Chains A and B, each alone.
Chain A
C-alpha cells in the first residue's frame, strides 16, 4: 500500500501554509498538536482558577472573593480540568500516537477528526463566556446536581448546558474515529494482540466514551427541559426525583474518571519497559485488566451516592462492585512493578514521572478503596478526603501520565531533545510540591472539613495553609514546564530516531521528527513483531 492524499495541488505530502493549515487540516499530527495546545491552555486557565481557590483558602475568613464567586471558581476549575484539559490532552496524544503505533498513515476519518477538534474551542468559548453573563458562571459544582442547577440556577446555566452538548459531540466523534482507526487502519499484519498498550487502552476508552457521553447529553437535556419547558425529571412535585439526576450523572461520571485514567495506564505501560530495558510483564493480563476495569466502571456509579438515602441493598451492591475494581487495577500495579524487577533501569525524565505515577496513583487508589466502604464513606463523603483522593488519581495519575508522555514522545514530535537537567529539576519540584499540596487534604477531610466551602473554621487553618503553599509551588512549576517545552521546540538539539535505548514500538522506526504521513507503506510482519510489546 501507499498513501494517496487528496490535495488539490496533488503530489505534496507536506502541510499547507499559514492559519488555514490548522483550520482545514485532516492530518492526525496537526490535529493532535491542536488538541495538545488547547489542553495546555485550558490547563493553565483551570490551574489559575485552582490558584484562586488556594489563595482564598490560604487562611480563614474571606479575603479575595465572594462565596458565589468562589463556587464559580470551584465549578469551572473542575469542568475545565476534566473536559478542557485532561480529556483533550489524551485525545491529542491518541491522535498523534495511534496511527504511528499501528503502522497507519493517518486516522480513519480525518475530516471528522478535524471537526472533533474544532468544536472544542466553541464549547470552551461558550463555557467561559458565562463568566460575563448576569448571574455569573455555573456555581453548582462540576457535578451540577439538580435542583441547584435547575430551579435555583441563573440563566447562564443554559449556555453551560449547550457547552456540555458540544463537548459531548466532540468526544463521541473522537471516540468513533479512534475505534475506526484501530480496527480498520491497523497495518494488515498487526494482530490485535500485537497492539501496543496505549492503543489498547485508548480503544477501550473509546467504548467508555461512546457509552457514557450520550448519557451525559441525556442528563443535560433533561436539565434543559426541566428548567425551561416544565418537565419534572428531577422534581418530586411531579413524581421525579433530584436523585435521579445523580444516577444519570454518575452513570456517565464514573466511566468518565476511567476515561481519564485508562490512557494514562497505557502511557505508563510504554515508559516503564523502555527504561527498564525489559519487556512489559503480563501484556495480555494488562489488556484483560483494562477491559475489566472498563466493564466494572459501568456498574459502580452508586458509590458517589452513599449518603443520598439509597436502599440498603443498593448500597451493599455498589460497595461490593466498587471494591472489585481494586483487583484488575492491582494487576496493573503488580505488572508494572514486575516489569521493573530485574530490569536494567535508568531514570530519564519520562521514567521519573512514570515511577512516581505508580507510587502516587496507588495512594490515590487506596483512598478510593476506603471511600468505597459505605459506612466509612458516610464520614468521608463531600469532605477534603475525597478531594485528596481524586487529585491523587487525576493530578498525579492522569496529568502525570500526560506530562510523562510529553517528555517521552517530544523527540518524536519535534525531532529535538529537551533539556534533561531542567526537566529533572522540574520533576523534583513538581513531585514534592504536589504532595505538599494534596497530602494534607487527607487530614483536613478526616478532621471534618467539607469540600466546596470558601471559608472554614480555625481548626483547619494549618493544613490549609500548608496545602496552599504546596499549591503555589506546584503552580509555579508549570512556568518551568512551559519554558522547557518552548526551549525544546526552539533550541532543542536534534534527536535520534530512537532516542531511548530500550524503546520499542513502530513509532520509533519513523524519522526523528515523524514524517507528515506516518506510514505510507504498512510495516512488515517482521518489523511489527520486532517492535511488539507482546514478545
Chain B
C-alpha cells in the first residue's frame, strides 16, 4: 500500500514537472565522453535496482494482499531454507560483479589525465574561483554576478539566477583539457555536471581532472563542498568556444592585461578611486565585511570604525596585500591589481563613516608588494 502511495507521490511530481519540460528529473547526459559514460552507468544501475525492487516488492505486495488473516489464511510454519538463502546471497553477488566491471573501467578512464593538451589551474577562495592559464599567462577571478546578488533578498529573479558570474571561464571545444584544482582556504569542490567533472579543491594539495568538451555552449555548475557562509553563491560558468574563437579570446586577454598595467602607473583622482573602490569592495570584500561594513560579529570583523581601517595606513595595505594567516582574511596580492587595491583601501577609509580622507595611489601598493 505504501508503495502505491509513494508511486502516487511520484506521479504527482511527474505531472507537475512535465509542465516545465526543461526542468530536469534525471542526470544530464553531458557533453563529454566521461559524462556520457557516467550517465550510462547511472542508468544501468538504476534499472537494475528498479528490476530488483519490482521483484521484491511484487512478492511482498502479493503476500500482503493474499496472506491476510482476514482472508482466513492460517499461517504456515516454515522458517528456514538453505537453498533459498544460498540463492539470494549468490545472485546479488553476481549482479554486483557485473555492475563493478564497467564501473571500474569508467573510473580508470576518468582518473587518467595524461592525454591532456592544455592545462587550467583552478583555485577556490571563499567564495569565488580563480582561473589561471599558466601557459597563456592569463589569470582572473570569477565572482557571482552583481545582477544575481542584487535580487537575492528581493526583486525579480531572472533565468540563470545564481548561476552567472562576472568572468566566465573560456575553453576551446574538442580539446583534452586538464584541470589542476586547489584551494587557498577551506575545501571547495569544482563541479560542472555537463562535463562529468567534480573534484575537491583541497588547500595545500593539487588534484587533477580532465575533460574533452564536444559541444560549443555555455555550461554552468556550482561549488559542491560546504565552504562557509556563501557556499551557495559561488557558481561556475564555462564558455566553450571554437578553437579559433578561443585563440582570439586569449590574445584579447593578453592585450587587456597591458592596459591594466598602464593604468596602475598613473595618479588617480579621489572620485575615480572611490568609485572603483566601491565596485571592488562589493565584489571582493562585501561577502565577509558586509555591504555596510558591519561584518558578522565573531566571524568577520566590521571595517566600520575598525582600528586598522581608521589607523596606520601601512598596516591597512599590508593586511589587504598579505592577509592574515589563521583567519579567513586572504592576501589579495595575487588576486587584485595595484589600482584595484589602492582603490578599495581608499574606499574603506572613506566609507562607512571612516572619514580618514587619505588617498592611496597604485604606486604605493606597487612599492608595498
Query: Which residue numbers of A lie inside 8 Å of B, CB to CB?
Result: 60-62, 67-68, 71, 133-136, 139-141, 145, 147-148, 151-152, 154-156, 235-237, 241-243, 276-283, 285, 307-309, 312, 315-316, 319-320, 323-324, 326-327, 330-331, 333-334, 337-346, 352, 355-356, 358-360, 362-363, 366, 369-370, 373-376, 378-379, 381-383, 428, 431-432, 435-436, 439-440, 443, 446-448, 450, 452-460, 462-463, 466, 470, 502
Contacts and interface: CB of A to CB of B under 8 A. Distances in A.
A134 B59 CA distance: 56
Contact of A241 (B60, B196, B204): B204
B41 to A, nearest CB: 5
Nearest to A431: B2
Contacts of B9: 432, 435-436, 439, 470
Instruction: Say which size band chain B's interface belongs to.
Output: 35 or more
Contacts of A139: 228-229
Given A323-B99, A378-B198, A452-B231, A68 B296 contact: yes
Interface stretch (B155-163, B268-276, B331-339, B359-367): B155-163
B32 interface: no
Contact of B89 (A145, A331, A452, A454): A331
B230 A340 contact: no
A394 B53 CA distance: 19
Contacts of A452: 226, 231-232
A61 B299 contact: no
A94 B70 CA distance: 34
A327 B232 contact: no
Nearest to A335: B85
B68 A344 contact: yes
B160 A457 contact: yes
16 contacts: A61-B151, A133-B298, A315-B111, A331-B88, A339-B79, A344-B68, A355-B64, A359-B6, A370-B49, A375-B107, A376-B38, A376-B41, A379-B27, A428-B5, A440-B13, A457-B163
A242 B201 CA distance: 11
A447 B38 contact: no
Contacts of B133: none
A439 B10 contact: yes
B107 A447 contact: no
B232 A454 contact: yes
Contacts of B160: 457-458
Given A241-B202, A379-B38, 16 more contacts: A67-B229, A71-B228, A148-B187, A278-B75, A308-B202, A312-B111, A340-B67, A341-B59, A342-B78, A344-B68, A355-B60, A359-B60, A439-B6, A456-B232, A462-B20, A466-B13
Contact of B45 (A67, A147, A370, A450): A370
Contact of B13 (A278, A342, A366, A443): A443
A404 to B, nearest CB: 13
Contacts of B46: 370
Nearest to A366: B49
Contacts of A136: 298-299
B66 to A, nearest CB: 9
A339 B73 CA distance: 14
A375 B153 contact: no
B170 interface: no
Contacts of B68: 344-346
A373 B103 contact: yes
B3 interface: yes
Contacts of B232: 67, 450, 452-456
Interface string B176-208: 000000000111010101001111101111011
A57 to B, nearest CB: 11
A439 B13 CA distance: 9
Interface in B31-82: 34, 37-38, 41-42, 45-46, 49, 52-53, 56-57, 59-60, 63-64, 67-70, 73-81
Interface of B: 2-3, 5-6, 8-10, 12-13, 16-17, 20, 22-28, 34, 37-38, 41-42, 45-46, 49, 52-53, 56-57, 59-60, 63-64, 67-70, 73-81, 84-85, 88-89, 92-93, 96, 99-100, 103-104, 106-108, 110-111, 126, 151-154, 157, 159-163, 185-187, 189, 191, 193, 196-200, 202-205, 207-208, 221-233, 296-299, 326-328
Nearest to B160: A457
A281 B80 contact: yes
Contacts of B59: 337, 341
A68 B299 contact: yes
Most chain A beta-carbon neighbours within 10 Å: one of B10, B110, B224: B224
Nearest to A340: B63
A504 to B, nearest CB: 12
Given A152-B186, A331-B88, A446-B26, A61 B199 contact: no
Nearest to B194: A448
A462 B16 contact: yes
B157 A60 contact: yes
A25 B340 CA distance: 67
Contact of A458 (B108, B161, B202): B161
Contact of A319 (B103, B154, B204): B103
Contacts of A453: 222, 231-232
Contacts of A62: 152-153
Contacts of A359: 2-3, 6, 57, 60
B2 A356 contact: yes
Contacts of B75: 276-278, 342-344, 502
Contact of B67 (A326, A344, A360): A344
B246 to A, nearest CB: 26
Given A340-B60, A346-B70, A376 B88 contact: no
